[in-house]
Structure 1
Amino acid sequence: MGIPPGDDDVVSSYETYVGERVLLSGPVANTDPVRVRITAANGDSMTVGVDGLETAVAVGDVVSVYGILEPDGRVSALETVKKPANNYVRTRVLSALAGLWVLWRGIRHWRPVPSASRIDRRDPPLRSMPTRLRNLWEDDA
Protein backbone atom coordinates (compact mmCIF):
# COMPACT_ATOMS: atom_id res chain seq x y z
CA MET A 1 0.00 0.00 0.00
CA GLY A 2 2.46 2.67 1.10
CA ILE A 3 1.91 6.39 1.14
CA PRO A 4 -0.90 7.62 -1.13
CA PRO A 5 -0.13 10.22 -3.80
CA GLY A 6 -0.34 13.78 -2.48
CA ASP A 7 -0.71 17.34 -3.72
CA ASP A 8 2.58 17.37 -5.67
CA ASP A 9 1.75 14.14 -7.49
CA VAL A 10 -1.84 15.05 -8.38
CA VAL A 11 -1.03 18.59 -9.55
CA SER A 12 1.88 17.43 -11.73
CA SER A 13 0.09 14.50 -13.40
CA TYR A 14 -3.60 14.29 -12.54
CA GLU A 15 -4.59 11.62 -15.06
CA THR A 16 -2.00 9.18 -13.72
CA TYR A 17 -3.77 8.95 -10.36
CA VAL A 18 -7.43 8.86 -11.47
CA GLY A 19 -9.17 5.96 -9.71
CA GLU A 20 -6.50 5.75 -6.99
CA ARG A 21 -6.66 6.74 -3.34
CA VAL A 22 -5.02 10.12 -2.76
CA LEU A 23 -4.33 12.42 0.19
CA LEU A 24 -4.92 16.08 -0.68
CA SER A 25 -4.80 19.13 1.55
CA GLY A 26 -5.47 22.81 1.00
CA PRO A 27 -7.69 25.80 1.71
CA VAL A 28 -11.37 25.74 0.80
CA ALA A 29 -11.86 27.96 -2.26
CA ASN A 30 -15.63 27.54 -2.61
CA THR A 31 -18.36 26.02 -0.44
CA ASP A 32 -21.18 25.30 -2.90
CA PRO A 33 -19.97 22.96 -4.26
CA VAL A 34 -16.97 22.41 -1.99
CA ARG A 35 -13.74 23.04 -3.89
CA VAL A 36 -10.25 22.85 -2.39
CA ARG A 37 -7.14 24.50 -3.83
CA ILE A 38 -4.16 22.15 -3.76
CA THR A 39 -0.66 23.48 -4.38
CA ALA A 40 2.48 21.61 -5.38
CA ALA A 41 5.92 22.43 -4.00
CA ASN A 42 6.87 24.12 -7.29
CA GLY A 43 3.98 26.60 -6.90
CA ASP A 44 1.60 25.09 -9.45
CA SER A 45 -1.93 24.70 -8.15
CA MET A 46 -5.38 23.48 -9.09
CA THR A 47 -8.80 23.23 -7.47
CA VAL A 48 -10.59 19.94 -6.96
CA GLY A 49 -14.17 19.31 -5.96
CA VAL A 50 -14.81 17.25 -2.83
CA ASP A 51 -17.78 14.86 -2.76
CA GLY A 52 -18.97 13.21 0.45
CA LEU A 53 -17.66 15.88 2.82
CA GLU A 54 -19.67 15.46 6.03
CA THR A 55 -18.23 18.47 7.85
CA ALA A 56 -19.43 22.05 7.35
CA VAL A 57 -16.60 24.20 5.99
CA ALA A 58 -16.05 27.89 5.30
CA VAL A 59 -13.90 29.56 2.67
CA GLY A 60 -10.35 29.70 4.03
CA ASP A 61 -10.62 26.59 6.23
CA VAL A 62 -7.91 24.07 5.48
CA VAL A 63 -9.18 20.59 4.64
CA SER A 64 -7.23 17.35 4.31
CA VAL A 65 -9.07 14.79 2.19
CA TYR A 66 -8.27 11.11 1.83
CA GLY A 67 -10.33 9.65 -1.01
CA ILE A 68 -10.55 8.33 -4.52
CA LEU A 69 -9.57 10.68 -7.35
CA GLU A 70 -12.30 10.95 -10.00
CA PRO A 71 -11.69 11.81 -13.69
CA ASP A 72 -13.68 15.06 -13.69
CA GLY A 73 -11.64 17.12 -11.20
CA ARG A 74 -13.24 15.67 -8.06
CA VAL A 75 -12.24 13.46 -5.18
CA SER A 76 -14.73 11.17 -3.42
CA ALA A 77 -13.89 11.64 0.24
CA LEU A 78 -13.40 8.61 2.46
CA GLU A 79 -11.92 10.57 5.39
CA THR A 80 -11.61 14.31 5.97
CA VAL A 81 -10.05 16.58 8.57
CA LYS A 82 -10.92 20.29 8.86
CA LYS A 83 -8.60 22.86 10.37
CA PRO A 84 -10.11 26.32 11.00
CA ALA A 85 -8.39 29.14 9.08
CA ASN A 86 -7.37 31.12 12.19
CA ASN A 87 -5.34 28.19 13.58
CA TYR A 88 -2.45 28.99 11.25
CA VAL A 89 -2.03 32.59 12.40
CA ARG A 90 -2.21 31.57 16.06
CA THR A 91 0.24 28.72 15.48
CA ARG A 92 2.73 30.98 13.70
CA VAL A 93 2.57 33.66 16.43
CA LEU A 94 3.01 31.12 19.23
CA SER A 95 5.88 29.45 17.37
CA ALA A 96 7.63 32.80 16.89
CA LEU A 97 7.28 33.64 20.58
CA ALA A 98 8.55 30.20 21.59
CA GLY A 99 11.51 30.62 19.22
CA LEU A 100 12.41 33.99 20.75
CA TRP A 101 12.18 32.51 24.25
CA VAL A 102 14.51 29.64 23.29
CA LEU A 103 16.92 32.09 21.64
CA TRP A 104 16.99 34.26 24.79
CA ARG A 105 17.59 31.20 27.00
CA GLY A 106 20.45 30.14 24.75
CA ILE A 107 22.07 33.59 24.75
CA ARG A 108 21.54 33.97 28.49
CA HIS A 109 23.24 30.68 29.45
CA TRP A 110 25.79 30.17 26.66
CA ARG A 111 28.41 32.29 24.91
CA PRO A 112 30.15 31.58 21.61
CA VAL A 113 33.94 31.36 21.45
CA PRO A 114 34.65 31.86 17.74
CA SER A 115 38.42 31.48 18.06
CA ALA A 116 38.00 27.95 19.43
CA SER A 117 34.85 27.11 17.39
CA ARG A 118 32.88 26.18 20.47
CA ILE A 119 30.19 27.38 22.85
CA ASP A 120 30.92 27.77 26.57
CA ARG A 121 28.49 27.91 29.47
CA ARG A 122 28.11 31.36 31.06
CA ASP A 123 28.76 31.38 34.78
CA PRO A 124 26.79 33.23 36.07
CA PRO A 125 24.16 33.56 33.34
CA LEU A 126 23.24 36.98 31.97
CA ARG A 127 20.71 38.71 34.18
CA SER A 128 17.14 38.92 32.96
CA MET A 129 15.61 42.27 31.99
CA PRO A 130 13.39 42.51 35.14
CA THR A 131 16.46 41.89 37.33
CA ARG A 132 18.43 44.57 35.48
CA LEU A 133 15.62 47.09 35.90
CA ARG A 134 15.20 46.23 39.59
CA ASN A 135 18.97 46.67 40.19
CA LEU A 136 18.92 49.96 38.28
CA TRP A 137 16.05 51.21 40.48
CA GLU A 138 17.79 50.10 43.70
CA ASP A 139 21.08 51.79 42.68
CA ASP A 140 19.27 55.15 42.31
CA ALA A 141 17.69 54.96 45.77
Structure 2
Amino acid sequence: MNTRLLSLLILITGLLYIFIIPNVFEQSTIIVVFKVIPMLLIIVYGLKIRERGIRNLVMYGLIVCAIADVAIAYSFLAGLVIFLLGHLLYIPAFWKYRKHTTLKWPFIAIAIYMGSMGGLWIDADRYD
Protein backbone atom coordinates (compact mmCIF):
# COMPACT_ATOMS: atom_id res chain seq x y z
CA MET A 1 0.00 0.00 0.00
CA ASN A 2 1.18 3.51 -0.78
CA THR A 3 2.87 5.17 2.20
CA ARG A 4 1.07 8.48 1.70
CA LEU A 5 -2.32 6.79 1.49
CA LEU A 6 -1.55 4.75 4.59
CA SER A 7 -0.46 7.90 6.46
CA LEU A 8 -3.67 9.64 5.41
CA LEU A 9 -5.77 6.68 6.56
CA ILE A 10 -3.98 6.68 9.92
CA LEU A 11 -4.67 10.39 10.32
CA ILE A 12 -8.33 10.14 9.26
CA THR A 13 -9.14 7.11 11.43
CA GLY A 14 -7.32 8.65 14.38
CA LEU A 15 -9.25 11.91 14.05
CA LEU A 16 -12.51 9.98 13.61
CA TYR A 17 -11.79 8.06 16.80
CA ILE A 18 -10.90 11.17 18.79
CA PHE A 19 -13.54 13.64 17.63
CA ILE A 20 -16.50 11.82 16.07
CA ILE A 21 -16.89 8.20 17.22
CA PRO A 22 -17.30 8.90 20.98
CA ASN A 23 -19.95 11.53 20.22
CA VAL A 24 -21.94 9.33 17.83
CA PHE A 25 -21.73 5.88 19.41
CA GLU A 26 -22.37 4.99 23.02
CA GLN A 27 -21.73 1.27 22.72
CA SER A 28 -18.23 0.55 24.01
CA THR A 29 -17.61 -2.29 21.54
CA ILE A 30 -17.92 0.04 18.54
CA ILE A 31 -15.69 2.62 20.23
CA VAL A 32 -13.05 -0.04 20.96
CA VAL A 33 -13.12 -1.26 17.35
CA PHE A 34 -12.56 2.27 16.07
CA LYS A 35 -9.81 2.72 18.67
CA VAL A 36 -7.89 -0.27 17.34
CA ILE A 37 -8.22 0.55 13.61
CA PRO A 38 -5.57 3.34 13.66
CA MET A 39 -3.25 1.05 15.65
CA LEU A 40 -3.61 -1.72 13.07
CA LEU A 41 -2.85 0.77 10.30
CA ILE A 42 0.23 1.94 12.22
CA ILE A 43 1.35 -1.69 12.48
CA VAL A 44 0.94 -2.10 8.70
CA TYR A 45 2.90 1.13 8.23
CA GLY A 46 5.61 -0.18 10.56
CA LEU A 47 6.07 -3.30 8.48
CA LYS A 48 7.82 -1.05 5.96
CA ILE A 49 10.74 -0.51 8.37
CA ARG A 50 13.75 -2.18 6.82
CA GLU A 51 15.84 -2.81 9.94
CA ARG A 52 14.57 -6.19 11.10
CA GLY A 53 15.73 -6.22 14.73
CA ILE A 54 14.07 -2.95 15.58
CA ARG A 55 11.06 -3.61 13.39
CA ASN A 56 10.23 -6.88 15.11
CA LEU A 57 10.43 -5.47 18.63
CA VAL A 58 8.47 -2.35 17.71
CA MET A 59 5.85 -4.46 15.92
CA TYR A 60 5.50 -6.74 18.94
CA GLY A 61 5.21 -3.67 21.16
CA LEU A 62 2.54 -2.14 18.91
CA ILE A 63 0.57 -5.38 18.80
CA VAL A 64 0.72 -5.77 22.58
CA CYS A 65 -0.32 -2.13 23.05
CA ALA A 66 -3.23 -2.60 20.61
CA ILE A 67 -4.36 -5.53 22.75
CA ALA A 68 -3.98 -3.27 25.79
CA ASP A 69 -6.24 -0.68 24.12
CA VAL A 70 -8.98 -3.30 23.96
CA ALA A 71 -8.30 -4.66 27.46
CA ILE A 72 -8.31 -1.25 29.13
CA ALA A 73 -11.89 -0.66 27.96
CA TYR A 74 -12.99 -3.62 30.07
CA SER A 75 -10.46 -3.77 32.90
CA PHE A 76 -8.25 -0.81 33.70
CA LEU A 77 -5.69 -2.82 35.65
CA ALA A 78 -5.40 -5.51 32.97
CA GLY A 79 -4.96 -2.85 30.29
CA LEU A 80 -2.35 -1.08 32.38
CA VAL A 81 -0.32 -4.26 32.87
CA ILE A 82 -0.52 -5.12 29.17
CA PHE A 83 0.61 -1.57 28.26
CA LEU A 84 3.58 -2.05 30.60
CA LEU A 85 4.52 -5.25 28.77
CA GLY A 86 4.25 -3.47 25.42
CA HIS A 87 6.44 -0.62 26.58
CA LEU A 88 9.00 -3.07 27.95
CA LEU A 89 9.30 -4.34 24.37
CA TYR A 90 10.06 -0.80 23.16
CA ILE A 91 13.05 -0.41 25.52
CA PRO A 92 15.42 -2.85 23.76
CA ALA A 93 14.14 -1.68 20.37
CA PHE A 94 15.28 1.88 20.95
CA TRP A 95 18.12 1.20 23.40
CA LYS A 96 20.88 1.41 20.80
CA TYR A 97 19.60 4.80 19.62
CA ARG A 98 19.94 6.45 23.02
CA LYS A 99 22.37 9.32 23.37
CA HIS A 100 25.05 8.94 25.99
CA THR A 101 24.83 11.74 28.47
CA THR A 102 26.17 12.40 31.93
CA LEU A 103 22.77 13.68 33.07
CA LYS A 104 21.05 10.29 32.92
CA TRP A 105 21.51 9.35 36.58
CA PRO A 106 19.56 12.31 37.99
CA PHE A 107 16.72 11.53 35.59
CA ILE A 108 16.72 7.88 36.65
CA ALA A 109 16.61 8.91 40.32
CA ILE A 110 13.73 11.30 39.65
CA ALA A 111 11.85 8.62 37.68
CA ILE A 112 12.26 6.11 40.54
CA TYR A 113 11.10 8.73 43.04
CA MET A 114 8.07 9.66 40.93
CA GLY A 115 7.18 6.02 40.43
CA SER A 116 7.36 5.27 44.13
CA MET A 117 5.30 8.36 44.99
CA GLY A 118 2.72 7.33 42.39
CA GLY A 119 2.57 3.89 43.96
CA LEU A 120 2.06 5.39 47.41
CA TRP A 121 -0.63 7.69 46.05
CA ILE A 122 -2.50 4.79 44.45
CA ASP A 123 -2.13 2.77 47.64
CA ALA A 124 -3.39 5.70 49.76
CA ASP A 125 -6.55 5.99 47.63
CA ARG A 126 -7.38 2.40 48.43
CA TYR A 127 -7.91 3.28 52.11
CA ASP A 128 -10.11 6.37 51.67
Q: TM-score, normalised by structure 1?
A: 0.22
Larger Rg over CA atoms: 1
Q: TM-score, normalised by structure 2?
A: 0.24
Question: Whose strand proportion is higher, 1 or 2?
Answer: 1
Q: Which has the higher contact order (CA 8 A, sep 6+)?
A: 2
Question: Whose helix proportion is higher, 1 or 2?
Answer: 2
